Amino acid sequence: MNQELVLDEKLSTLKNLAWLLYIFHAASLVFSMGLFSWIPLIISYLKREDAAGTFVYSHHTWQIRSFFWYLVWMALGVVLFMTIIGIPLAWLIWVGAWCWKAYRLIKGLMELNANKPMPV
């Protein structure tokens, strides 16, 4: 079998997985405010090394960082929500975090479809 064809099939498989993980993150964001994003997070951690040396590796890193920064901002909102004065600010942080993660997912999908790495 042609070596190039094998590499192209492997890259295509890695790219498809990253694409599906973006979609899973997005579905979780829309339907559960990101509550189930831990599932694609674990898969990204497990499959990231398989993508080492390809542009897909950076997409796994991008998704992992997006998850943890989103978690930080949502947790900050929870802390602020516990104070009466911080409730309006908590909602603002939650909406901002949601929009920010949606942006990161859309940007990641666009760059993945263009076969471009994400900044790390």
* pLDDT at residue 7, rounded to an integer: 58
Q: For residue 79, what are the CA distances in angstroms to 73, 84, 89?
A: 10, 11, 11
E strand or H helix at 42: helix 38-47
Does the structure show a pLDDT above 60 at 6?
Answer: no
Q: How far apart are CA 29 and CA 50, in angstroms?
A: 26
pTM of the prediction? Answer: 0.90
pLDDT digits (tens, 9 = 90+) for 18-65: 999 999 999 999 999 999 999 999 999 999 999 999 999 999 999 999
* pLDDT at residue 84, rounded to an integer: 80
Mean pLDDT of the chain: 93
* pLDDT at residue 3, rounded to an integer: 52
- Domains of the chain by residue range: 3-113
pLDDT digits (tens, 9 = 90+) for 61-88: 999 999 999 999 999 999 999 988 889 9
